[in-house]
Chain A
């Protein structure tokens, strides 16, 4: 199992990173979503994998580590907020410039005269 999860994390990370390295905003957003999946699973896995011992106190003799779960929950929520924001940001940037490149529209000062001479 550990190998499955580790490889899954690696795979999601790789694809996420690859998408983040694109020029356009939308794939970058998708990439970031994938990356946060990967990272959440990674963080979750740091509590080790345990089957059928949910951290719900029920007189069972053992429970999985609840702390990483709480951390991942926070992480999920935060990355949700961030994703929402960056999606709108991408949209907004596109509306402003009519292109969805993830670069910065310069003020092109180069055209203007040189400095002190």
Chain B
């Protein structure tokens, strides 16, 4: 429980600075410090128990299905790191209070910082490795925010993104690795996993698992070749650099290696991979650091180098190496953080961090100088400072390390590395503090306020204390921590300054003296460096990233080029492919149903259809012709429906076609009348081929099904239509009753189509569309808009048509017909008026609100369906009854007719609304005033009244 509290305190406390900042920066800093302090105190309260050797765990399930749980445990290692994180945190909070200028949002900074702190603590206290992953990713994220804190600076933004991407990539590898580890070990709890070391080591998946996990660790801890992100992260404010990039986050990778040390260290692969990677990192880091002129850059690469050192130690796989590693983690944390802070102070005071422009600060800012020199001495590995001790142990371990049978390899290389690090340490200290003072400082540098150098001082104390009395001061911590790492009793060792004339001593001396010489010969060394090619990781990274982005754009923008023919082509090809595979991979037998003999009219109709289709294929660019031909197709299809006993379909098809034709004609009037032939022959062949294949496929499927018998549920419909549905026209009964719900959806589709058309046209009267409309020049052929004879004819037809419609509607339930067809006939009758006398004139007389009609239609259909609920029957339950009226006699009334009425109204409304809308556009496009009269030639009681130009 308490562990969770420790972890959650920074998270929950994170909001406090955001609120506290209102009451000033000091209060904000105090509040934030208080949060961290609370966590630290709570943690340390457990220290005695841990040092008594008992491991405390706590766990609640989170997502059992994948083994994710909120489980924490505390042992020496966890305690050590957690304390390190929180303790450092306190100092950083204090330091940042003074470091950040008053126009930096301090509250936000502390907010990010606490989130980061919580994530770090979470990593080191998690027992469940999936939970650890959560915190791991959170550190990447929060460090992204912290590095990008000064988001105005390009360097910060790029550094932040680089850090996020590199560590994020590592994090993804780690996810994979951890999941595999969990599956191998059969548990996601570290405590369990540590028990199952041998199971893991014997697994065939060991190597991939190890590599993936190391991928995570190496990226986080900036190991070669992933080391390049760390220096760029130094664009962050110095407190961030000091905290994340020297003391804590970069140690997360080391922590992971330490945590899983007992599992992996015994394996050959571990040593062969980790040790050299650490060594190389150590060398390269040191070498680059030596030539950095920016203090922070120098420290950054030095950090890389030291992380390499620790990694190598873990990689060596011996208990004593582990002890040395732990010891060096402590020491490095102290002196490096101190140095970062001093660098920050110098930057603050001298206005620059460029070694070449610094000098003589010893006299100008003595306190800072003294503290820095001590820390630098430790970094150089000079005796009496803590850096010396752990480095000594490291050299000792390396001294008798044989890699791939080569004895000298490790000893020599580590000595060189140590030598270089001595050199850059000297360079750091001497050229900053001792070199002749300069006079070009923006303002006289002097020691910063107490609060700013205090943290440095606090850090320098252990540097000396440990350096002089290691066994007393650091002894127990190192022991318990190392114990937790190794997981078994440690061999004898002593933390002492003097180990006698061990090889390490000589290596150390070589390193120091050599370092001094190298610093003295700095100019030549630099010349030597410049002689060799120096790959710039940043440039490579940028190149790769922009290549990725540009590549992605190339891919997307060439494939998603907005060409519908291509899209449709690909989709249709995919359909063909899948369909073909599906058909060919299953047994198929020809049908046995008796074929209907061909008849002459059918053959004739077929010829007509085929001829029309083929003509359409070649002449579709003459759009009016295409339309006329399509009407022909519709005619044949309707006849086909009649031929094969589907009168209702024929009626529907016939009436739908005419309305469609008129819609298309209206549209075509404004659209281009012909299309240019611009498709290449090849393209046409390709499309033709695809079309042909699809046509063949569909035809073949149709034939295959038509030629076999089958059992269908519709026998029930035939049987029940009359007794159950009260109608003899089974199709209609199905539509309004058995499957009335389909019809309900169907009329809603129509309704939506209409109101969408309405909305579409509604905004065509403004903007670009309106401009186009105005620019359209109609070459009106005839001046005769409303031919008299046509007008008169349609006037006679209207009442007849309506009568027919009424008839079709009423008989629909028993004979071919129904609400839908009736609605279309009414619409057609009205369209006739529009055609003859013009939309404007006719619309004035049609007192129908088509939108209301649609709404009413849907509502009536819906309510007709709902009515049955009141009688305890489901939606759309129909009933019918026979009433015996005087004179008229027995007539049957089916409740489904109400539903059909809804259909009727919707259809009329939809057609009328659509046509009305398009007519509005047409009107807008008209050039000359159109006669609003019913007929252009107006004859009255023997007098003729000319009426041209009579606009309404």
Contact B699 A87 (CB under 8 A): no
Mark interface residues in B664-681 (1 if CB within 8 Å of A CB, else 0): 100110111001001100
Contact A51 B645 (CB under 8 A): yes
Q: Which of B616, B678, B718, B754 contacts A23 (CB 8 A)?
A: B678
Mark interface residues in A94-111 (1 if CB within 8 Å of B CB, else 0): 111110101110100000
Residues of B within 8 A of A104 (CB): 562
Q: Which of B602, B667, B714, B760 contacts A65 (CB 8 A)?
A: B714
Contact A14 B714 (CB under 8 A): no
Cα–Cα, bound, A56→B750 (Å) = 27
Contact A45 B705 (CB under 8 A): yes
Which A72-117 residues sit within 8 Å CB-CB of chain B? 72-74, 76-78, 80-85, 87-92, 94-98, 100, 102-104, 106, 115-117
Residues of A within 8 A of B647 (CB): 54, 56
Cα–Cα, bound, A116→B164 (Å) = 15
Cα–Cα, bound, A49→B667 (Å) = 37
- Count of A-B contacts with CB under 8 A? 334
Which A16-45 residues sit within 8 Å CB-CB of chain B? 17-30, 33-34, 37-38, 40-42, 44-45
Contact A65 B648 (CB under 8 A): no
Q: Which of A51, A77, A102 contacts B652 (CB 8 A)?
A: A77
Known contacts: A29-B664, A34-B633. The answer to whether A92 contacts B914 by CB under 8 A is: no
B214 to chain A, nearest CB (A): 31
Residues of B within 8 A of A50 (CB): 644-645
Mark interface residues in B652-670 (1 if CB within 8 Å of A CB, else 0): 1100100110011001101
Residues of A within 8 A of B617 (CB): 15, 18
Contact A88 B667 (CB under 8 A): yes
Residues of A within 8 A of B729 (CB): 55-57
Cα–Cα, bound, A9→B596 (Å) = 17
Mark interface residues in A6-18 (1 if CB within 8 Å of B CB, else 0): 1111111111011
Q: Is residue B413 contacting chain A, with contact meaning CB distance below 8 A?
A: no
Q: Is residue B47 contacting chain A, with contact meaning CB distance below 8 A?
A: no
Residues of B within 8 A of A47 (CB): 712, 714
Residues of A within 8 A of B161 (CB): 116
Q: Is residue B598 contacting chain A, with contact meaning CB distance below 8 A?
A: yes
Residues of B within 8 A of A51 (CB): 596, 643-645
Q: Which of A4, A12, A67, A70 contacts B598 (CB 8 A)?
A: A4
Q: Which of B598, B627, B694 contacts A17 (CB 8 A)?
A: B694
Contact B734 A66 (CB under 8 A): yes
Contact A15 B613 (CB under 8 A): yes
B138 to chain A, nearest CB (A): 24
Task: Name A95's closest neighbour in chain B (CB-CB).
Answer: B769
Task: Name A6's closest neighbour in chain B (CB-CB).
Answer: B703
B771 to chain A, nearest CB (A): 9
Known contacts: A13-B698, A55-B645, A84-B914. The answer to whether A28 contacts B564 by CB under 8 A is: yes
Residues of A within 8 A of B572 (CB): 17, 21
Q: Is residue B192 contacting chain A, with contact meaning CB distance below 8 A?
A: no
Residues of B within 8 A of A22 (CB): 565, 620, 675, 679, 687
Contact B568 A20 (CB under 8 A): yes
Cα–Cα, bound, A58→B572 (Å) = 44
Which B565-605 residues sit within 8 Å CB-CB of chain A? 565, 568-569, 572, 593, 595-599, 602-603
Residues of A within 8 A of B735 (CB): 70, 73-74
Contact B699 A7 (CB under 8 A): yes
Contact B746 A74 (CB under 8 A): yes
Cα–Cα, bound, A40→B702 (Å) = 11
Residues of A within 8 A of B603 (CB): 4
Task: Name B707's closest neighbour in chain A (CB-CB).
Answer: A2
Contact A96 B627 (CB under 8 A): no
Contact A87 B663 (CB under 8 A): yes
Q: Which of B663, B706, B752, B918 contacts A48 (CB 8 A)?
A: B706
Contact A11 B613 (CB under 8 A): yes
Residues of B within 8 A of A103 (CB): 562-564
Contact A30 B630 (CB under 8 A): yes
B173 to chain A, nearest CB (A): 25
Contact B596 A49 (CB under 8 A): yes
B639 to chain A, nearest CB (A): 11
Q: Is residue B509 contacting chain A, with contact meaning CB distance below 8 A?
A: no
Contact B731 A73 (CB under 8 A): yes
Residues of B within 8 A of A56 (CB): 647, 728-730, 814-816
Q: Is residue B634 contacting chain A, with contact meaning CB distance below 8 A?
A: yes
Which B750-800 residues sit within 8 Å CB-CB of chain A? 750, 752-754, 756-757, 760-761, 764, 767-769, 772-773, 775
Q: Which of A54, A80, A87 contacts B656 (CB 8 A)?
A: A80
Known contacts: A77-B656, A88-B760. The answer to whether A95 contacts B921 by CB under 8 A is: yes
Cα–Cα, bound, A34→B773 (Å) = 29
Task: Name B743's closest neighbour in chain A (CB-CB).
Answer: A74
Q: Is residue B688 contacting chain A, with contact meaning CB distance below 8 A?
A: yes
Known contacts: A8-B606, A42-B698, A89-B760. The answer to whether A94 contacts B753 by CB under 8 A is: no
Known contacts: A15-B691, A37-B634, A53-B645. The answer to whether A69 contacts B731 by CB under 8 A is: yes
Task: Name A57's closest neighbour in chain B (CB-CB).
Answer: B728
Residues of A within 8 A of B739 (CB): 70, 74
Contact A95 B773 (CB under 8 A): yes
Which B681-707 residues sit within 8 Å CB-CB of chain A? 687-688, 690-692, 694-703, 705-707
Known contacts: A34-B630, A76-B653. The answer to whether A44 contacts B699 by CB under 8 A is: no
Known contacts: A11-B699, A81-B750, A83-B660. The answer to whether A57 contacts B722 by CB under 8 A is: yes
* Max count, chain A CB within 10 A of own CB: residue among B621, B630, B730: B730
Known contacts: A3-B703, A69-B648, A96-B772. The answer to whether A11 contacts B609 by CB under 8 A is: yes
Contact B730 A7 (CB under 8 A): no
* Max count, chain A CB within 10 A of own CB: residue among B703, B738, B752, B918: B703
Q: Is residue B623 contacting chain A, with contact meaning CB distance below 8 A?
A: yes
Residues of A within 8 A of B621 (CB): 27
Residues of A within 8 A of B753 (CB): 81-82, 84-85
Contact A6 B699 (CB under 8 A): yes
Known contacts: A9-B699, A11-B699, A51-B645. The answer to whether A2 contacts B706 by CB under 8 A is: yes
Residues of B within 8 A of A98 (CB): 768, 772, 775
Known contacts: A55-B718, A87-B663, A88-B757. The answer to whether A10 contacts B706 by CB under 8 A is: no
Task: Name B715's closest neighbour in chain A (CB-CB).
Answer: A65
The 8 closest A-B pairs by CB, nearest first: A10-B699, A14-B695, A6-B703, A81-B753, A18-B691, A95-B769, A70-B734, A67-B714
17 contacting pairs across A/B (C-beta < 8 A): A4-B602, A6-B702, A23-B563, A27-B626, A27-B675, A30-B616, A37-B633, A54-B645, A55-B718, A66-B718, A73-B731, A78-B750, A84-B753, A84-B914, A91-B918, A96-B772, A116-B157
A sample of 8 more A-B contacts (CB under 8 A), given A2-B596, A67-B734, A76-B652, is A9-B699, A10-B699, A14-B613, A27-B675, A54-B646, A69-B649, A95-B769, A98-B768
